[in-house]
Amino acid sequence: MDDLTILYYTANIFEPSGERIRQHLQAEAREIPIISVSQKPMIFGGNIWVGEIGISKYNIYKQIYTGVQAVKTKYVACCEDDVLYNYDHFKYRPKQGIFAYDCNMWFAEPEEFWRRPQIHERSGMFGCIVETQTLYDEMKKRFDKYPQPDPKNYDWGEPQSPVEYFMGDYPLIVFCHDTSTKKKRLLEKHKRNSLPEDHIQSVELYGDIQTFWSVYI
């Protein structure tokens, strides 16, 4: 797999769990190159240290923009510090100019795995695979327009046009954790709308939730 780079970005607040998740990612990546963009220096792939710029949607995309400029492969996969990935996820290739999002995901909490209702296709930047040039062009457009944060006049959500969604063979696992309180509040809203079949105790590849949680958290 020589046409894709993993672009990993972190604010370095999810530790020591983040280190265990990085070890998992490095094992799953196998031969895939990794570029990491972090707010604290770290040894993980080719590291770019941006300093402690703070936690915000703007800065998440600033780290993505910084990292994508160092990617040399045709495709890039965005990876976040509180998500478990599997090698098969990285096999997907979108069409030209398309942002592709992996919809196969489960959220992990201490007592269970759960997911959003499977009525609509949903994902996030953590599940994005896209041509490197397409991601670079989108980030450049945003930062040319907003070189400084302007919370009243920008929307820093995932690129939505054009997009496609896919279901990886194995799920991504997204941790619900207290160090990401805003994400946790948003997920609690989705959890209230979930169905009984969206709550399980064991996931293929990862086993039962109690053992799984103890390994990573």
Domains of the chain as residue ranges with CATH: 4-103+122-171 (3.90.550.10)
Position 100, amino acid = A
**Beta carbons of 77 and 34 less than 8 angstroms apart:** no
What is the per-residue pLDDT across 145-154, written as a single tens digit (0 to 9) for each?
999 988 777 6
pLDDT number for residue 186: 59
- CA distances for 131 relative to 45, 80, 115, 135, angstroms: 20, 18, 28, 6
| 82-94 tens-digit pLDDT | 999 999 999 999 9
Distance CA 166, CA 188 (A): 24
- Model confidence at 181, in pLDDT bands (50, 70, 90)? very low
| 57 token code pair | 């949607």
* Summary mean pLDDT of the chain: 91
pLDDT digits (tens, 9 = 90+) for 196-211: 889 999 998 999 999 9
pLDDT of residue 117: 78
pLDDT of 161: 83
Q: In which band, very low, low, confident or very high, does the pLDDT at 116 lie, cut at 50, 70 and 90?
A: confident
- 3-state SS, 102-118, equals ECCEEEEECCEEECCCC
- pTM for the structure as a whole: 0.93
Q: How far is CA 165 from CA 18, 50, 124, 135, 161, in A?
A: 27, 31, 11, 16, 12
CA distance 62 to 11: 12
